[in-house]
Structure 1
Amino acid sequence: MSLASRLKAGETVFSAWCNLPHTLVMETLCRTDFTAFMLDMQHGPFDTQSVLQSVGIIQSAGKHTVVRIPVDRFDMASRALDFGAEGIIAPMINSVEDARRFAASMKYPPVGERSWGQLRGRPASYGAGGSGGYLTEVNAKTLAFAMIETRAAFTALDGILAVDGIDGVFVGPADFSIGWSNGAEVDAGTQAIIEPLREIAAKAHAAGKLCGIYAPNAELAKRFTGLGFTYVPVSVDTAYLQLGVQTLLAAIQS
């Protein structure tokens, strides 16, 4: 089952957030119960080579890969898809025009302008390789998430959701809190953004689109799913390592 089919069926997917571009780290994370992995190229040190290697490891484990590309690097969106990623998160989509450019890089014609250049083999569930049926299947199963993290993006939300080829929106709550407070605070858990977050999720569902959000911890993951978000990367791999050590030492010392 693809990530797209899981989310479109209404499943809530809790994902790993990955900043450590090392094959052994990825192999270890793939032995956990996470079913999806988000590789961060925007603020994390993932590059083309480490994305290529990591996608292969995640695919071999039978799990799903999402890549957050750097700002305005729509060329990397199509490359990550060629490597086998199932979804792309594009930061700083602040207008309908930004969303259209992103969608164009993600989808084959007639929806977008993605060029043909597969690197990894096609999933067996897709149509005949190279056929129009295959292109239609790929367009349906590769997810384009536009990040909503500024007041401008929030204002343009209806138009962004209406763009053909945008499958959903993804909120960076820390950045959204900065924009919402006009730089007065950075707090992913602030109560000030609860109602706009609820509105983002509601509008996405009403438009037949998906909605995701980053949750720094388990408490916020529960809060955000309660608001209607269904793709939720939780914490980050560096924190998983620290938490494991702290839990072990606390157990020894108790």
Structure 2
Amino acid sequence: MALPRLRDLLGEGGFVVSAWLGLTDPVVHEAFLRADFDAVTFDVQHGLHDTASLRAGIERAVLLGKPALVRLPIEDRALAARVLDFGASAVMMPMIETADDAAAFVAVAKYPPLGQRSYGPTRAGELHGYADRADYVSDARKEALAFAMIETGAAVDNLDAILAVEGLDGVFVGPSDLSIALSGDGTLEPRGSKAEGAIKRIAAATAAAGKIATIYAATPEDAKRYRQYGYRMVCVGSDQGMVVAGARALAEGVRG
């Protein structure tokens, strides 16, 4: 066992479907890990996770054979390095707006010479089965991925410069925040023409830069559409949303 070859799954023609986990319950995590998802993404920015739930969730994902990705809180670069040491396969940093932002993120997510990630992957090495930690370090340079979240007007304006940052593996688009930022009046309209146009442009620019475009999709229909645009990974729905919808549907089914 070694770090999952997430980059290969995301390669040309590849398409990865990730669950989106904001709840901390291990039974919920296991349900999604045993479902037909290629990966799981733990949402720290808006989810309920703390360090303990992230550690346990990442362990569970690794032991059940799925890559674990983490959406970090804004500017929490220290946590980026820590969850990689827990065994995560990728990290996503919100609100990246400039090449300098992206470079600061890469610095903590990548080992030298690409970045300045501090050495200490004891748990990651154990979980992924590395008898020699030097082999983990070598693999992590390529296989521990860093995605800059593109969700503001400034990020769209600076997209080419962000994509040019060495060591950045790709971008992750947040359609909701992007739509609010581009609307001019704060309107939430992730399927509106402005957001859709930007989502298409981001996919094309990322492909042209030789990097990986990924995105959040609220529904399976959105996910299929984004795949047509060239996105290679979608994080679809959410555990909390599915629990709420399932509970309502069950109650309505009995009373209807």
Calculate the TM-score normalised by the size of structure 1. Answer: 0.92
Q: Determine the C-alpha separation between the residues in 2 that align with 1:15 and 1:3.
A: 12
Q: Which residue of 1 aligns with 2:222?
A: 220
Q: Which of 40, 60, 63 is matched with 1:60 structurally? A: 63
Written as runs of structure 1 = structure 2, the 5 A alignment for 1:126-145 is 129-131=132-134, 134-145=136-147
Matched-pair contact (CA < 8 Å) for 2:189–2:195: no
- 1:46 equivalent to 2:49? Answer yes
Q: Which of 92, 108, 114 is matched with 2:117 structurally? A: 114
**5+ residue gaps, structure 2:** none
Q: Which of 125, 150, 153 is matched with 1:151 structurally? A: 153
Calculate the TM-score normalised by the size of structure 2. Answer: 0.92
SS across alignment from 2:122: coil
Q: Determine the C-alpha separation between the residues in 2 that align with 1:136 and 1:54.
A: 24
Q: Which of 177, 181, 192 is matched with 1:179 structurally? A: 181
- Deviation, 1:121, is 4.3
Which amino acid counterpart does residue 74 of structure 2 have in structure 1? V
1:1-24 per-position Cα deviation (integer Å, ceiling 9, x unaligned): 522221125311111111111112
Q: Which residue of 1 aligns with 2:100?
A: 97
Q: Which residue of 1 aligns with 2:202?
A: 200
Q: Which residue of 2 aligns with 1:82?
A: 85
Q: Determine the C-alpha separation between the residues in 2 that align with 1:75 and 1:10.
A: 33
**5+ residue gaps, structure 1:** none
1:208-240 per-position Cα deviation (integer Å, ceiling 9, x unaligned): 110111111112111111111111001110121
Which stretch of structure 1 is more off in the superposition, 242-251 or 153-162? 242-251
SS across alignment from 2:36: coil
Q: Which residue of 2 aligns with 1:233?
A: 235
Which stretch of structure 1 is more off in the superposition, 152-161 or 183-192? 183-192
The 4+ residue runs of structure 1 with deviation greater than 4 A are 246-254
Q: Determine the C-alpha separation between the residues in 2 that align with 1:213 and 1:150.
A: 14
Q: Determine the C-alpha separation between the residues in 2 that align with 1:130 and 1:222.
A: 39
